[in-house]
Amino acid sequence: MGREIFLRKFVIFFIYVIILRCFYLQIIKYPYYYQLSIKNCIRTIETGIPRGIIYDRNGRVLAKDAPSANLVFVPYDLKNIEKVVEILSSICDLDKEYLIKKLTKKYINPFDRIILKRDLSSKEISLIEENLNDLPGVFVQESIKRVYLFGEKTAHLLGYLGEITQSQLEKLKDKGYQMGDFIGQDGIEKQYDEYLRGIPGGIQVEVDALGHQRRILGKKEGIPGNDIFLTIDATIQEIAYEELGDRKGCVAIMDPRNGEVLALVSNPSFDPENIVLYLKEKKHLEKPFFNRVIKGAYPPGSIFKIITEIAALETGVIKEYDRIECTGAMEIGDRIFHCWKEEGHGWVDINFALPFSCNIFFGTIGVKVGVSKLIEYAKKFELGKPTGIDLPGEVSGVIPEPTKADPLNLSIGQGPITTTPIQLLSLISIIANGGNIWQPFILKKIISAKGEVLKELLPNLKKTVYIDEEALEILRKGLKNVVEFGTGTRAKVEGFEIAGKTGTAQRAATQLELPTYGAFVCYAPFDRPKIAVVVFLDYGSSPQAAEIAGRILKRIFIPEKIEDENETETEIFYEQI
Amino acid sequence: MKQKLKYFMSRFKERDIIFISYILIFFGLIILFSASKGVITKESFFIKQILWVLIGTIFVYIFRNGDYRSLEKWSYLFYFITIFLLIIVLFKGEGRASRWIGLGWFYFQPSEFAKLVIILALSSFLSNKNIRRFPILFISLIIVGIPFLLVFKQPNLGTAIIFIFIFLGISYIAGITRAQLISLFLFAIFVSPLIWTVMKDYQKERILVFLNPMRDPLGKGYNILQSKITIGSGGLIGKGFMKGTQTKLAFLPEYHTDFIFCLIAEEFGFIGVVIFILLYFYFLDKILEIISISKTEFGKYVACGIFVMFAGHFLINLGMTLGIFPIVGIPLPFISYGGSSLIVSLLCVIILSSIEKYSTLF
């Protein structure tokens, strides 16, 4: 019949196909599949990227690394996801939706270990270890975490670490940053991330199909990044944070002789080790990550009178003893301009007007000086311009165009003008040192593991502005009297001379009687200034701000009793200055 | 010793079907030893398989002088018993793929035995009948159709496909016309959408993923991809006996059953694969010879059914591990671990041997 001959041909044909296929896979594509088979059973496990230590000016540790454990999984090894979700959600208090999303996502490299939760507690670790058999592909992996020894007190200054975002990755790809890396997301951690960041360590292991480690093939220790020394004084930083208390606002302290920032505090603050908490619990409505010192732009209020006074004295619009009568209000065109004191200050000269912050006086001389001249002076003292402090995200504030500003409002720092607290701190420092504009800075030096100095920031004198000597003397006298008997008496420290200026500003919608911004800038000691302070309260009055500044200065310069180490160090700082 | 070797060589040259199948079994045991990672315990499938080989050998010994023609009378009884068992499995079976029946200490798969029983029943029915007559073709379709549906429902797609192969093979050798084949084919196309709706989701997925395995490297396409990696990484000469990494570290599931060919390819390379395929072809070619020399129609049909069954298993199994066909759970006879499959294969070989013997005796 011969039909079996056809069957034979049929089989032979398929055997040819099969042998050709084997030839293709085993001979032609051999290198490719061999590589894949190697990749299948050899996994590289990153043990984290150690970072450098951040010290304050006296060598106190502000931030460092500590060992921790992460919950990780290998997508390739996952089995029975529903059960895994069930177990993990109950052990680790993780959201089921988050788990499902994370576990079922398609990853580019399915052999990579993906982190589900960082910094497990010892209880969580033991529970996971107990249930490991029901959790194929899930592990507890040793890692490192960042510890901030001063927690919320240095949160805005140092920033925090967070997983690299897609846009950051695109920018930093060439510098060796990878997906999943934790990098500085704000503050010093972000500013100097490249230096702080070390070289990641890792181990190479052979694994079986369940991802269980068979043996370690190789180990590479991570190399920590470089250490950083800051100009910050941890003691002063603590004092500033404590004295600001739970008021919404910020404090910044600087050495007016060189621009070294000694403290930088913003409130509400956050726990830099627990960022997730703030994102989860809607606390972000309070903007805890918002660093008011450099990112907040507010009307300077009466602090701007410093500019008005210098402009008026230098242009000769007014002499030291020229008097102007304040009746509490004045009529300009079709509107009435009020002084903050309803009954008025009576006849006042400049020596009296500044301490009592008379709006009528400064409004009158401001109009005489003229809008363009006032703005020229504001720009001369670098208001409305970033100070160049070495922190990410500094804003500039706004100095209005001459045509858009009203001379009356401008001369008392109201209207469309905004400045940042750090600019006001810079302004008072210029007055304190007699015209030098130092760039505020936080980094002292970066030191490598070998002890080399990789980067050092020296005081940077941006420029020197000429201030008429006589005018400066009148101004300083006035500022001293602000604290002696004027609007800032609550900043007074017994036996100690402080020069300062209060500033209260209304929020944009004036009719609503919203709480005002209260600010106070000062320097001390009066005759030999070593410290400049700005206190800004988001909801508060300037006398309250002055009181906080006073308490801070008192604690810095007049330590009450030498009880514990902190106080001793405060005294040491005083000696240093 | 020399004499013994000479004896073996002559047996091989004479193409004694039982001898060749034992060579394949021996080959399979070597592979399974490697798959057991050289660990020999009571539980390892290497030891279990040896037990099955021994049981199978007892069958071979008992039936070595049996006459296949007596099966013709019994085939319908076997057929109905098998149908009955398949129904029981369907209702009593446990697990998703409910294919096994437990009998004390061992489990067996009625669907494996069903293959042989269908061959016998169909051959018995068709012998001395003209398949070109429509009623005969229709009844033949029903004989295969009933167990086909039962197995398909289990669900055991692989075995169901083998049933189709068996039907096509036997009806082809029985002289089915081209017109009949084409109309059957058209009928199948007409029915297939219906089958698609009856299919389990995972079966549909397998066919879909076959079309594009990379679309889901960790899901349904995982087996195909891992199988290709395993085979491809073997290269020309392989990684060496007991040195496979893919299978040892269990990246490939079921490497001791349906994917056993990967292990051969990984450890013995392209050269090993070619030798293995030629050996298997040597075995298949012998069956073709038996078909052509068989004196009775029943013997011819049975031999052809068995040939199609082995060839079908062989081609589909290799095809799916190589990514030519979709993955359907089909073992590689004599090589894959599995008692039912081994016993059935040995029974087939005994029958073939008997057909050969009685065709030359006349």
Q: With beta carbons less than 8 A apart as the criterion, state whether B12 and B21 touch.
A: no
The CATH number that applies at residue A469 is: 3.40.710.10
Instruction: Verify whether the Cβ–Cβ distance B277 to A12 is below 8 Å.
Output: no
User: Is position A25 within any domain?
Assistant: no
Residue A235 CA, distance from chain mean position: 19
Q: Of A123, A145, A167, which residue is a domain's last?
A: A145
Q: With beta carbons less than 8 A apart as the criterion, state whether A482 and A305 touch.
A: no
Report pLDDT digits (tens) over B291-312.
999 888 999 999 999 999 999 9
Report pLDDT digits (tens) over A401-442.
888 788 888 888 888 899 999 999 999 999 999 999 999 999
User: Is position A61 within any domain?
Assistant: no
Does A26 contact chain B (CB < 8 Å)? Answer: yes
Domain that holds residue A86: 67-145
User: Is position A62 within any domain?
Assistant: no
Give B270's contacts in chain A (Cβ within 8 Å): 22-23, 26-27
Provide mean pLDDT across the span A65-72.
Answer: 87
User: Is position B107 within any domain?
Assistant: yes
User: Is position B7 within any domain?
Assistant: no
User: Is position B9 within any domain?
Assistant: no
User: Is position B20 within any domain?
Assistant: no
What's the one-letter identity of residue B264?
I
User: Is position B211 within any domain?
Assistant: yes
Which chain B residue's Cα is nearest to A75?
A: B218
Distance from CA of A57 to the nearest CA of B (A): 53
CA–CA separation, B5 vs B21, rounded Å?
17
Sequence-separated (6 or more) residues with CB below 8 Å from residue A15? B277, B281, B315
Q: Residue A46 phi/psi, 5° resolution?
A: -80, 135
Domain that holds residue B329: 30-361
Same domain, A388 and A494: yes
User: Is position A250 within any domain?
Assistant: yes
Can you tell me whether residue A459 is helix, strand or coil?
Answer: coil
Give B234's contacts in chain A (Cβ within 8 Å): 26
Nearest-5° Cα angle at B222, B216 to B223: 145
Q: With beta carbons less than 8 A apart as the criterion, state whether A363 and A308 touch.
A: no
User: Is position B52 within any domain?
Assistant: yes
Same domain, A244 and A130: no
| Nearest one of B124, B114, B121, B120 to B87, comparing CA atoms | B114
Same domain, A326 and A436: yes
Can you tell me whether residue A66 is helix, strand or coil?
Answer: strand
Can you tell me whether residue A529 is helix, strand or coil?
Answer: coil
Distance from CA of A103 to the nearest CA of B (A): 12
User: Is position A358 within any domain?
Assistant: yes
- Per-residue model confidence (pLDDT) at position B94: 52
Is residue A387 scored above 60 in pLDDT?
yes
Instruction: Verify whether the Cβ–Cβ distance A33 to B232 is below 8 Å.
Output: yes
pTM of the predicted model, to two decimals?
Answer: 0.60
Can you tell me whether residue A238 is helix, strand or coil?
Answer: helix
Instruction: Verify whether the Cβ–Cβ distance A18 to B232 is below 8 Å.
Output: no
Give the total number of structural domains in chain B. Answer: 1
Give A110's contacts in chain B (Cβ within 8 Å): 217-218
Q: Please, is A147 exposed, middle or buried when counting C-beta atoms within 10 Å of its C-beta (0-12, 13-18, 19+)? A: middle
Same domain, A124 and A241: no
Q: With beta carbons less than 8 A apart as the criterion, state whether A50 and A144 touch.
A: yes
- Per-residue model confidence (pLDDT) at position B193: 77
Give the total number of structural domains in chain A. Answer: 2
Instruction: Verify whether the Cβ–Cβ distance B229 to A37 is below 8 Å.
Output: yes
3-class DSSP string for chain B: CHHHHHHHHHHHHHCCHHHHHHHHHHHHHHHHHHHCCCCCCCCCHHHHHHHHHHHHHHHHHHHCCCCHHHHHHHHHHHHHHHHHHHHHHHHHCCCCCCCCEEECCEEECHHHHHHHHHHHHHHHHHCCCCCCCHHHHHHHHHHHHHHHHHHHHCCCHHHHHHHHHHHHHHHHHCCCCHHHHHHHHHHHHHHHHHHHHHCCHHHHHHHHHHHCHHHCCCCCCHHHHHHHHHHHCCCCCCCCCCCCCCCCCCCCCCCCCCCHHHHHHHHHHHHHHHHHHHHHHHHHHHHHHHHHHCCCHHHHHHHHHHHHHHHHHHHHHHHHHCCCCCCCCCCCCCCCCCHHHHHHHHHHHHHHHHHHHHHHHC
- Per-residue model confidence (pLDDT) at position B139: 93
**Count of Cβ atoms closer than 10 Å to residue A162 Cβ:** 18
User: Is position B65 within any domain?
Assistant: yes
Q: Of A145, A179, A211, which residue is a domain's last?
A: A145
Report pLDDT digits (tens) over B81-90.
999 988 888 8
Q: Of A145, A166, A191, which residue is a domain's last?
A: A145
User: Is position B108 within any domain?
Assistant: yes
Same domain, A409 and A548: yes
CA dist list (Å): B81 to A346, A368, B73, B273, B351: 121, 117, 14, 39, 20
Instruction: Verify whether the Cβ–Cβ distance B230 to A37 is below 8 Å.
Output: yes
pLDDT exceeding 70 applies to what percent of chain B? 85
| Strand pairing class (A261-267; B106-108) | unpaired
Give B304's contacts in chain A (Cβ within 8 Å): 4, 7
ipTM of the shown complex: 0.89
| Strand pairing class (A54-55; A227-230) | parallel
Share in percent of chain A as helix, strand, coil (round to 5): 40, 25, 35
Sequence-separated (6 or more) residues with CB below 8 Å from residue A544? A247, A490, A518, A537
**Count of Cβ atoms closer than 10 Å to residue B135 Cβ:** 8
The CATH number that applies at residue A76 is: 3.90.1310.10
* Average model confidence (pLDDT) across chain A: 85
User: Is position A193 within any domain?
Assistant: no
Least confident of A317-321, A382-386, A387-391: A317-321
- Residue A34 has its nearest CB partner, among B233, B307, B311, at B233
Report pLDDT digits (tens) over B34-71.
887 766 666 678 888 999 999 999 999 999 888 888 89
Instruction: Verify whether the Cβ–Cβ distance A11 to B234 is below 8 Å.
Output: no
Higher-pLDDT residue of B227 and B123 is B123
Same domain, A386 and A499: yes
A514 token code pair: 């919203």
Nearest-5° Cα angle at B136, B134 to B140: 115
Report pLDDT digits (tens) over B271-294.
999 999 999 999 999 999 999 998
Q: With beta carbons less than 8 A apart as the criterion, state whether A62 and A149 touch.
A: yes
A346 token code pair: 């009576």
User: Is position A198 within any domain?
Assistant: no
Does B222 contact chain A (CB < 8 Å)? Answer: no
